[in-house]
Amino acid sequence: MIRTGVFGASGFAGFELIKLLERHPKTVIVFAASETHAGKTLSDVYPCNQKIKLVAPDQVPLDAVDIAFLCTPNGVSAPLAKRVLAAGAKCVDFSADLRLHDATVYDEWYGVHPAPEMLTQAVYGLTEVYRAQIAKTWLVANPGCYTTCALLALYPAAKAGLISREPVIIDAKSGVSGAGVKPTETTHFVSVHDNLSTYKIGHQHRHVPEIEQELAEFAGRPLRIVFTPHLLPVSRGILATLYITTPPELTISDLHARYETCYQHEPFVDVLPLGQGATLAYTVGSNRCAISIHSAGVPGEFILVATLDNLIKGAAGQAVQNMNVMFGLGETSGLA
């Protein structure tokens, strides 16, 4: 059994991870740490019968785990990751601290990086793309939720050099759990319910540099994006509608076939049949990402629709998937 520890267990992603690890046939939870709720159980924080005791992060038995998951904020994670590695455990980090390869980009979007020397150590944990590296690393930077959705949607086209116009338009919609557990005016029920709103629109959201970094990797050249996040009146799920321009001779059947081929062996990515559209309901509650491909009615103009559960494939599920890869378990173990 893999011995696991979870930091930040009382946040939405941490709680989701605890639930996944509990059901996982090959893992045992050694500790669940929470800065805010140390001393309580998860059933004190959420309506559930989960009785795991939350401990203070500085009192966890790091030497008793094989892997630690950091569901901790930006800035907190990087130093914590150091501690975990030093204690001889593997590490999957949910924050943005280790996602960007370039410290100056981090500084621009997040402020001064707490431990820039870590940036080169981490593997970017988009499992479908970096599986081989993930299998060998001790340190994974779990991708952002929007990022995972956008990147899985664009990967086959970008990789094949089919994206011929910038900026690539990503019109993304997310449920409220993406905003975190902290009560704010933005997350007040009355603010969200019966509403739809945009935020950090254009080129402002912190997932922008992460998406552009990876798109550049895929395409072999920089690809600028426009990113328009919307806040949906649902608790979970992301749906991204992406508009791409390709060489005009590319037919929708060709494009669809490329996507199917690219993801044919992927257990968690479903390229839907032509004519069907990806929906939130298809993926919420699972570790799946669904992608559908649509003609925009003009040669070379296509619409991609991609969905996932932001707390599972966009966070805790992908983290478990990465752990499975890191420890040589079946990749779907605990996730099917």
Residues annotated as catalytic are 145
Q: Does 224 bind a copy of itself (CB under 8 A)?
A: yes
Residue 35 CB, nearest distance to a copy of itself (Å)? 16
- The stretch near a copy of itself (CB under 8 A) out of 61-69, 86-94, 139-147, 229-237 is 229-237
Q: Residue written as tokens 């699972």? A: 286
Query: Do residues 244 and 157 make contact, with C-beta atoms less than 8 angstroms apart?
Result: yes
Q: Is 197 in the site for a copy of itself (CB under 8 A)?
A: yes
Q: Is 297 in the site for a copy of itself (CB under 8 A)?
A: yes
User: From start to end of 192-237, where are the E strands?
Assistant: 197-198, 225-231
Q: How far is the CB of 188 from a copy of itself (least distance, A)?
A: 5
- Contact residue for a copy of itself among 30, 71, 282, 316 (CB under 8 A): 282
Q: For residue 72, give the nearest of 164, 166, 180, 156 by alpha carbon.
A: 180
25 vs 328, which CB is nearer to a copy of itself? Answer: 25
Q: Does 223 bind a copy of itself (CB under 8 A)?
A: no
Q: Which residue, among 257, 11, 19, 214, has the nearest Cα to 125 in the 3D structure?
A: 214
Residue 167 in contact with a copy of itself, rule: CB under 8 A: yes
Omega cis (within 30) before 167 = yes
Angle (deg, nearest 10), helices 145-159 and 252-262: 120
Tokens at 317, concatenated: 């599920």
Instruction: Give the sign of the dihedral formed by CA 114, CA 119, CA 121, CA 127.
Output: positive
In the complex, the residues that contact a copy of itself under the rule CB under 8 A are 12, 23, 46-49, 166-167, 169, 171, 173, 176-177, 181, 183-185, 187-199, 201-204, 224, 226, 228, 230, 232-237, 239, 241, 243, 270, 277-282, 284-285, 288, 290, 294-298, 301, 303, 305, 307, 336
